[in-house]
Amino acid sequence: MSSQPAAPARKPVTITTLQNMKGKERFSCLTAYGYSEAYAVSDAGVEVILVGDSLGMVIQGHDNSLPVTIEDVAYHIRCVQRGNQGSLLMGDLPFMTFYSEEVTLESAAALMREGAQIVKLEGGAWLAESTRLLTQRGIPVCCHMGLMPQSVNHLGGFRVQGRDPAKAQSIIDEALVLQDAGASIVLLECVPAELGARVTEALDVPVIGIGAGPETDGQIMVLHDLLGLYPGRPAKFVKNFLAGETDGVQGAVKAYAEAVRAGTFPGPEHCYQ
Ligand code: KIV
């Protein structure tokens, strides 16, 4: 890169921005792990950047996200925040960095000090107390439900969640508990499209989906998936936006953001029934 990028051209996205979009306009989210990716993603108008523990797989080459540490995520947030042009920056709390309330506060504070503006934790209603503690101390929370990759061993693999009616209802009930505890966002991974729509309807806070159908308030994808950079067969909810794109990576990211906004992504072929 030859020159320093210009100052942010758009109004920074905040949680209030996303809250105001609920029910009116869909928003897009992408992962990023480094300066140049963050610049490209935010410059394309993507509302939220997640420094996710998926970095354990796409950056570090592990089979799952369990080996990722808080120092790893903090390092990548530091890189990303230098390139970010106004997207809301979300930091992921990795495996075993929120097992007690004290540890949760310390882990979340470490990411906020590096530039995160909201933290994401995987779990259900049991996260209510931590969510309350964090939000009371000025740290916004996104609760990640449905398929929780940090629980891959407990779940017996990366499987669709909430297929039976009782489990679907408990996801809705637990999401409501977390909203009441102060969660600003709920992220739903790998659930039937109908359940994605029901959770979105039930909650007042924005719901971000990945493999959760077309009716969530926002959509998220791992940047490497969007660019076709995955070994083996992609998950059903993945679309390679770089294939056939003439404007390269920037064009692919813009095409994704536009498709989410227009409601054309995800299509039926990317959804679980
Ligand atoms: O770590 C991550 O990238 C994530 C997304 C898949 C939602 O949690």
**Per-residue pLDDT at 231:** 81
List of long-range contacts for 136-142, beta carbons under 8 Å, 24+ apart: 136/182, 137/105, 139/108, 139/109, 139/112, 140/15, 140/184, 140/185, 141/182, 141/183, 141/184, 141/185, 142/90, 142/118, 142/183, 142/184, 142/185, 142/186, 142/187, 142/208
CB 31 near ligand 1, within 6 Å:
yes
Helix and strand counts by DSSP (H, E) for the chain: 11, 8
Q: Within a domain: residue 6? A: no
Q: Within a domain: residue 179? A: yes
From the candidates 189, 215, 245, 258, which is the catalytic residue? 189
Share of the chain above pLDDT 70, in %: 97
Which atom number of ligand 1 is nearest to the Cα of residue 122?
Answer: 8
Residue 171 near residue 198, CB atoms below 8 Å: no
Q: Within a domain: residue 9? A: no
| CA gap 131, 104 in Å, rounded | 9
DSSP code for 269: G
CB 92 near ligand 1, within 6 Å:
yes
Query: Which residue has the CA at smallest separation from atom 6 of ligand 1?
Result: 222
Separation in Å, CA 213 to CA 9, 151, 166, 184, 188: 31, 22, 19, 20, 10
Dig out the tokens for 244 from the structure: 């056939």
Q: What is the CATH number of the domain that holds 242?
A: 3.20.20.60
Q: Within a domain: residue 141? A: yes
Rounded to the nearest whole angstrom, what is the distance from the C-alpha of residue 221 to the centroid of ligand 1?
Answer: 7
* Domain total of the chain: 1
Q: Within a domain: residue 169? A: yes
CB 50 near ligand 1, within 6 Å:
yes
Q: Is 269 labeled as catalytic in the residue annotation?
A: no
Q: How much is the mean pLDDT over the chain?
A: 96
Q: Which residue out of 189, 226, 237 has the highest number of ligand 1 atoms within 8 Å of its CB and is therefore the one to mutate?
A: 189
| CA gap 167, 191 in Å, rounded | 11
pLDDT tens digits, 27-55: 999 999 999 999 999 999 999 999 999 99
**Would the pLDDT of 2 be above 60?**
no
Which atom number of ligand 1 is nearest to the Cα of residue 31?
Answer: 3
CB 52 near ligand 1, within 6 Å:
yes
**Per-residue pLDDT at 233:** 87
Rounded to the nearest whole angstrom, what is the distance from the C-alpha of residue 107 to the centroid of ligand 1?
Answer: 18
Provide the domain limits for residue 241: 15-270
| CA gap 17, 19 in Å, rounded | 5
pTM: 0.96
pLDDT tens digits, 138-164: 999 999 999 999 999 999 999 999 999
Dig out the tokens for 200 from the structure: 């979105």
Q: Within a domain: residue 3? A: no
SS3 content of the chain, % helix, strand, coil (to 5): 40, 15, 45
Written as one letter, the residue type at 221 is M
Rounded to the nearest whole angstrom, what is the distance from the C-alpha of residue 155 to the centroid of ligand 1?
Answer: 17
Rounded to the nearest whole angstrom, what is the distance from the C-alpha of residue 130 to the centroid of ligand 1?
Answer: 20
| CA gap 24, 63 in Å, rounded | 38
Rounded to the nearest whole angstrom, what is the distance from the C-alpha of residue 31 to the centroid of ligand 1?
Answer: 7
> Predicted confidence band at 230 (pLDDT cuts at 50, 70, 90)?
confident
Query: Which residue has the CA at smallest separation from atom 1 of ligand 1?
Result: 52
Q: Within a domain: residue 78? A: yes
CA angle 67, 72, 73 (to 5 degrees): 105
Residue 105 near residue 138, CB atoms below 8 Å: no
Q: Within a domain: residue 148? A: yes
| CA gap 76, 90 in Å, rounded | 11
